[in-house]
Amino acid sequence: MKRILLLGGVTEALAIARTLGPQHIYSLAGIGRVPTDLRCQVRVGGFGGAEGLAQYIREQGVDLLLDATHPYAAQISQNAATAARLSGIACWALRRPAWQPQPGDDWREVSGWAELIETLKPFRRPLFTLGREPLQHLDEIPAEQFWTLRALDVYPGNERCEVIGARGPFLIDDERALFESRNIDVLISKNSGSSATEPKLEVARERGVPVIVLKRPVLPGVDREFGSVADVLEALSMPGIR
């Protein structure tokens, strides 16, 4: 039986962690909530880069690394692939399929903050759903724009920005009310591929609101890649794995 180190931070990772027994380890960065009702071991905080992760793998006798982190958490995914190679163990990854634009969608893909701000120029009432990054730019908001910024927790805004703290899953009627009450004319989103946050795209489509989509980072190659929790659990149920 293998000892699994599961790297988490998203709902699917928690679903996998719930199936793991006491010899396995579930690792979290420490940004979100830490579950207290799991049978597996839970550890919190960074490892100190790929080298630190490789050392942890050796010390703990881990023999399978499972990367189920967020598709935009590119650093830890890179570290995972490197550490597995350094330690001579396999790295598997759950990679959520990306959302695809549907008929009626007006998506504008951008590669980073500078391109995003350029693309945002014609708009007045953006809704940012990128997490905390826009908080660093509150002093740069043009006079003609008012930003609504949704993050996991609430933070101070300013006279040109309201910050809303909210955690998904989001219901379509609540998203409709948010767009309506703030008169949102453009949505800014990662392509997280999560059903928990997808209703905002449906509302943008209904209202003819364009979506500025931050492109996904390129992630490293791994030994096995899965598109769903069910596929991961099936692979883990194979003889010799656990």
Q: Judge contact between 191 and 213, C-beta under 8 A.
A: yes
- The reply on whether position 189 binds ligand NAP by CB under 6 A is no
171: which 2 tokens? Answer: 């219901």
Closest CB 182 distance from ligand NAP, rounded Å: 22
Which amino acid appears at position 142 of this protein?
Answer: P
Q: Judge contact between 229 and 16, C-beta under 8 A.
A: yes
- The reply on whether position 38 binds ligand NAP by CB under 6 A is no
d(CA 26, CA 35): 10
Q: What angle do CA 195, 219, 97 make, to 5 degrees?
A: 25
213: which 2 tokens? Answer: 């989509």
d(CA 130, CA 133): 7
Per CB under 6 A, the list member of 24, 70, 96, 150 interacting with ligand NAP is 70
- C-beta of 21 vs 52, nearer to ligand NAP: 52
Per CB under 6 A, the list member of 1, 21, 34, 48 interacting with ligand NAP is 48
- The reply on whether position 49 binds ligand NAP by CB under 6 A is yes
Which residues, 6 or more positions from 177, have their beta carbon under 8 angstroms from its beta carbon?
none
Alpha-carbon torsion (25, 80, 188, 142), positive or negative: positive
- The reply on whether position 126 binds ligand NAP by CB under 6 A is no
Q: Which of 8-16, 89-97, 119-127, 218-226 is the region at the interface with ligand NAP (rule: CB under 6 A)? A: 8-16
Distance of CA 202 to the CA centre of its chain: 19
- The reply on whether position 170 binds ligand NAP by CB under 6 A is no
At 105, give phi and psi (nearest 5°).
Answer: -80, 145
How many residues bind to ligand NAP according to rule CB under 6 A? 24
- The reply on whether position 195 binds ligand NAP by CB under 6 A is no
- The reply on whether position 123 binds ligand NAP by CB under 6 A is no
- C-beta of 133 vs 162, nearer to ligand NAP: 133
Q: Which of 16-24, 73-81, 105-113, 199-207 is the region at the interface with ligand NAP (rule: CB under 6 A)? A: 73-81
Q: Angle of helix 172-182 relative to helix 199-207, nearest 10 degrees?
A: 50
Per CB under 6 A, the list member of 20, 73, 83, 187 interacting with ligand NAP is 73
Per CB under 6 A, the list member of 46, 88, 97, 165 interacting with ligand NAP is 46
Which spans of this chain sit near ligand NAP (rule: CB under 6 A)?
7-10, 27-29, 31, 46-49, 52-53, 69-70, 72-76, 79, 131, 190
